[in-house]
Structure 1
Amino acid sequence: MSKAIFTKENILLNESVATKEEAIKLAGSILVKNGYVDESYIEKMLQREELTSTYMGNFVAIPHGTEDSKQFVKDSGISFVQVPSGVDFGGGNIVKILIGIAGKGDEHLDILSKIAIVCSEEENITKLVEAKSADEILAIFEGVN
């Protein structure tokens, strides 16, 4: 029985971070704390960001590990960090929502596509940025788990 991909414990609201590295470490630390990945996965998330920005547009970034980070993933999981004041991801790209992903095998592609659908609707982004509870966040991502 694999664990739930996305739970209340994976959500941090109203955070404030100074840099994109700090933001990515925070998204990764949730995955570590809740047993989805080994500590080493965070380093792979930072490496991935150096290769290509995980900024997706619409105030959203989806940090995840590099291709060779699979060995550090125990279970597929998603972390969610809300940064209402925003954090600069470079090139004037401001991120208010970070969705950290760890996928077992090829599951990350499926997870990514579901998240992309939710995040492609601007009204969903507004709701995510303004959400005051983990339940509100989970309701918006209902189909992802």
Structure 2
Amino acid sequence: MVKEVLSKENIHLNMEFNNKEKAIRYTGEILYKNGHVQKNYIEKMLEREKLSSTYLGNHVAIPHGTEDAKLEIVETGISVVTVPNGVDFGNGNIVKILVGIAGKGDEHLEVLSKIAIVLSEESNIEKILTAQTKNDILRLFQEVN
């Protein structure tokens, strides 16, 4: 049976981190614990961040592994972590929403485009940040099909 790309277990609300490494590690840990990636994928996410920041703007970062991390992906999945007080990603970039991605094969392109559609609307970013339940976030991402 194929896992949901985004499930309630992959959404964590109102978290706090004192640095981006802990935030990225936590985001990857969700993917690992829910069977989307092998443990080493988390290190590949941190390695990717050192190469180039995954901060996109609008308080959003999309941590993901390096190109060679594809071998560590078991099944496509995303994790969503909200950090209302923000975490510093350097250069004054404060991240309040982390979307961890692990795309099996070429599936990452489809997943990225859906995430981009959701996050391109500033109102959706606000909805994610003020979400009271995991279902609120699930609904936002499920509307994009």
Q: Does TM, normalized by the shorter one, top 0.5? A: yes
The alpha-carbon deviation at position 90 of structure 1 amounts to 0.7
The residue number in structure 2 matching 1:138 is 138
What is the TM-score of this pair, normalised by structure 2?
Answer: 0.97
Determine if contact 2:77/2:103 at 8 Å carries over to the other structure: yes
Distance 2:144 2:120 in 1: 14
The alpha-carbon deviation at position 116 of structure 1 amounts to 0.7
The alpha-carbon deviation at position 2 of structure 1 amounts to 1.9
The runs of 4+ residues in structure 1 deviating greater than 4 Å are: none
The answer for unaligned runs of 5 or more in structure 1 is none
Distance 2:70 2:143 in 1: 24
The alpha-carbon deviation at position 110 of structure 1 amounts to 1.0
Q: CA, structure 1 residues 36+144, in 2 after alignment: closer, same or farther (shift >3 Å)? A: farther
What is the TM-score of this pair, normalised by structure 1?
Answer: 0.97
Determine if contact 2:117/2:144 at 8 Å carries over to the other structure: no
1:42 aligns with 2:42: yes
The residue number in structure 2 matching 1:30 is 30
Q: Which amino acid aligns with 1:48?
A: R
Report sequence identity in percent. 62
Say what the alpha-carbon RMSD is for the aligned residues.
Answer: 1.1
Q: Which amino acid aligns with 1:39?
A: K
The residue number in structure 2 matching 1:5 is 5
The residue number in structure 2 matching 1:114 is 114
The answer for unaligned runs of 5 or more in structure 2 is none
Distance 2:14 2:80 in 1: 11
1:76 aligns with 2:76: yes
The residue number in structure 1 matching 2:100 is 100
